[in-house]
Amino acid sequence: MRIIRKEAGFTLIELMVALIVLAILATLAFSIYSNYVDKAKVTIAEHAVIEARQNLDLYNMDNGKFPDSIDFSTCHDENSRAVFSTTFCNQIKNDLLSIEYTAENNNYVLKARAKDVKNTLITTNSIKMIK
């Protein structure tokens, strides 16, 4: 008499379906994660711009005017006076893709780009914050 053994295991089709489902789930998870990371980068850039604005207001109170220009490699004004602390200057370099400052008639415009996928532009001036 011949004994028939039932083989246990998965077929190749079943394994491929399982791998496809896992790949779809991983893609969705990565997409959601990337969106959160991008939102965090924009939030970090917004806070850096807000802090820069506060520092510029303090500079204005101390010097009676806003700086005519800022060298963001040193964070000093045209007269080599510090506009931002060294710590904040390093934070700007790390957290922002780019930053640009223009001043005219004791008003300024500060434009910064976040390090997110869209390189979101965040703008503030001596009057209000704009995104």
Task: Note the pLDDT tens digit of each residue in 107-131.
Answer: 999 999 999 999 999 999 888 655 5
What are the backbone dihedrals phi and psi of residue 122, each rounded to the nearest 5 degrees, phi first?
-120, 125
Whether residue 6 lies inside any domain: the answer is no
Q: Which of 51, 54, 40 is nearest to 115 (CA)?
A: 40
pLDDT of residue 42: 94
Q: Is residue 72 part of a domain?
A: yes
Query: Residue 103's domain spans which residues?
Result: 18-130
The answer as to whether 7 is a domain residue is no
The parts of the chain modelled with pLDDT lower than 70 are: 1, 4-6, 128-131
pTM: predicted TM-score of the whole model, two decimal places: 0.76
5 in any annotated domain: no
